[in-house]
Amino acid sequence: MARRRGLMSDALKYELARELGFANKLRDGDWGDVTTREAGSLVRAAIERVERQAERRQNQR
């Protein structure tokens, strides 16, 4: 099965990593020093952001 790519932009990933306090571990696109917990936090933050955006769009209707 092929992997899906491109669901989250690199810019968003780096922005969230900065907000969560582990952007210093990212060098040249290398995510090897990021812990599983940190990666999970990043995904959780991305989901929350998308949900807030969807809620705002829904309320604008």
What is the chain's pLDDT, residue by residue, as a tens digit (61 residues)?
A: 566 666 889 899 999 999 999 999 988 788 999 999 999 999 999 999 999 999 999 988 7
DSSP 3-state of 31? coil
Q: Which amino acid is at 37?
A: R
pLDDT of residue 56: 93
- Calculate the CA dihedral of residues 8, 31, 45, 48 and round it to 10 degrees: 30
pTM above 0.85, yes or no: no
Contact predicate 34/26, CB 8 Å: yes
Would you give the distance in Å from CA 54 to the centre of its chain?
A: 16
